[in-house]
Amino acid sequence: QGREFLQFMHQHGLRPGTPITIISHDRIVDAITIKTPKQNPVTLGMTAAGKILVRKTTSR
């Protein structure tokens, strides 16, 4: 990934191993809003979101 993208992810608490919750998926504008345990929600376009590798876990 590019440096600016990685800096953006880091600033929003999106680091390897960090759990995220998908808050919403807006199909009209093709974006998702996600949240990490320690950060405010952040909205990402699907191009940016597609660069994030995730693994589904069970709900708590």
pTM: 0.81
The answer on pLDDT for 55 being more than 80 is yes
The answer to the question of residue 56 being in a domain is no
Domains of the chain: total: 1
The answer on pLDDT for 21 being more than 80 is yes
Instruction: Report residue 10's pLDDT band, with 50, 70 and 90 as the boundaries.
Output: very high
pLDDT of the residue at 1:
82
Domain range for residue 34? 3-49
Q: Are 32 and 26 in contact (CB under 8 A)?
A: yes
The predicted model gives 37-58 an average pLDDT of 92
Q: What sections of the chain are H helices per DSSP? A: 3-11, 46-49
The answer to the question of residue 37 being in a domain is yes
